[in-house]
Amino acid sequence: MIRINENYLKLQASYLFSDIAKRVQAFQAGNPETEVIKLGIGDVTMPLPDACIAAFHSAVDEMADQKTFRGYGPEQGFDFLREKIAENDFKSRGADINADEIFVSDGAKCDTGNFQEIFATDAVVAIPDPVYPVYLDTNVMAGRTGEHNDGRFQGMVYLDSTRENNFIPELPSVPVDLIYLCFPNNPTGASVTKEELARWVDYAKKENALILFDAAYESFIRDESLPKSIYEIEGAREVAIEFRSFSKTAGFTGTRCAYTVVPKNCRAFDASGNPVMLHELWSRRHTTKFNGVSYPVQRAAEAVYSEQGSAEIKGLSDYYLINAALILEKMSAAGFECSGGKNSPYIWIWGNMDSWKFFDLLMQKAGVVVTPGAGFGKCGEGYIRISAFNSFENVQKAMERIAQALK
């Protein structure tokens, strides 16, 4: 008898964003005349930068010519891209990361979801609450939790991110092995200072723990004093893995390209307490289960680092940050307590009512889709998240409609 992985039965019915998409579809079917504005899932709307498109086209032409055609590429990514990443995203900021410590992939969602596979099933995991659901759900699937009770999984250590701590969680009060952090944060939009991040690095060293640091939103940081990478913190190489993505940076949500940094001296431990280098384990896992991102996509990603590409991607994040500023201004003017929206494309709004009720109200009365905070965890209850990823015109229209609906 073929049996299932029973851990899947512990999961909440469906993935948050699929659930929202279903509700929106049902609303649209019943209200075909309403032009719905989507400020829910953080999906970019601006086209790929010209520099990326030109590189993409020319790589496709190479694939059409027998002399320049390529089959399988290296699973870890082509050197031309890994070298540009190491130089521009790390060395230029004083972070000591080399090209051969970069693993190119098709998304930070997959990488943040997959990385836990290389750790013991009884590892104690700490996740912030609220949190990007992928970190939690993949650990549930792997069997690191008990049942779901009263909005939380038994066995998981939750790090509350609330208005009382400015959405920067305290260090765990019980020993943990694996810690997920995301800054600028999804969903709260909070950013972390170097001093605050250094506390986590010190904790991980002291407790022999490991940090999985999701930096998918670093391109929205405008405050130069804030760290873009955890490797800007001394000692982080041994205790942190970092995830990055071209999705939000350069409009690659549909094109798919991301990368994970696994420093050569980053360690975990075997059952006898001997250090094991994670670079080798992740390399084994990645080369076994992944066959590389397509050549044209990697060429398009490389173009992000050209002079033209850098200017264009800065323009993209500036555009969404203007939307974020407008959302912050209008929702604050409507009397809501808001955070995020600076150095981040997400605005976290205290609705002072059930999150899903607030979500429904905005969809039914204003035709605007947001994300209910409760979908990100118990501490998200009472909040909604508004995403700045849409056209400026749509954001303006959405803010007018919300103001009207809430009058």
Shortest Cβ distance from residue 43 to ligand MLT (Å)? Answer: 6
Please say which residue, 176 or 221, places its beta carbon nearer to ligand MLT. 221
If 0-12 CB within 10 Å is exposed, 13-18 middle and 19+ buried, where does residue 252 land?
buried
Please say which residue, 109 or 279, places its beta carbon nearer to ligand MLT. 109
Residue 370 identity (one-letter amino acid)? V
Place of tokens 């050569």: 264
Shortest Cβ distance from residue 24 to ligand MLT (Å)? Answer: 14
Shortest Cβ distance from residue 152 to ligand MLT (Å)? Answer: 20
Which spans of this chain sit near ligand MLT (rule: CB under 6 A)? 41-43, 109, 132, 186
Shortest Cβ distance from residue 66 to ligand MLT (Å)? Answer: 38
Return the ∠ at Cα 119 (arms to 253 and 290), rounded to 5°.
Answer: 40
Please say which residue, 78 or 348, places its beta carbon nearer to ligand MLT. 348
364: DSSP letter: I
Shortest Cβ distance from residue 305 to ligand MLT (Å)? Answer: 22
Shortest Cβ distance from residue 386 to ligand MLT (Å)? Answer: 11
Q: Is the dihedral of CA 307, 298, 244, 265 positive or negative?
A: negative
The CA distance from 48 to 51, in Å, is: 8
Please say which residue, 95 or 388, places its beta carbon nearer to ligand MLT. 388
Exposure string (b/e) for 208-237, b if CB count within 10 Å is 16 or more?
Answer: ebbbbbbbbbbbbbeeeebbbbbbbbeebb
Q: Are 349 and 386 in contact (CB under 8 A)?
A: yes
Residue showing the smallest CB distance to ligand MLT in the complex: 42
Please say which residue, 12 or 98, places its beta carbon nearer to ligand MLT. 12
Please say which residue, 190 or 236, places its beta carbon nearer to ligand MLT. 190
**Coil, strand or helix at 158:** strand
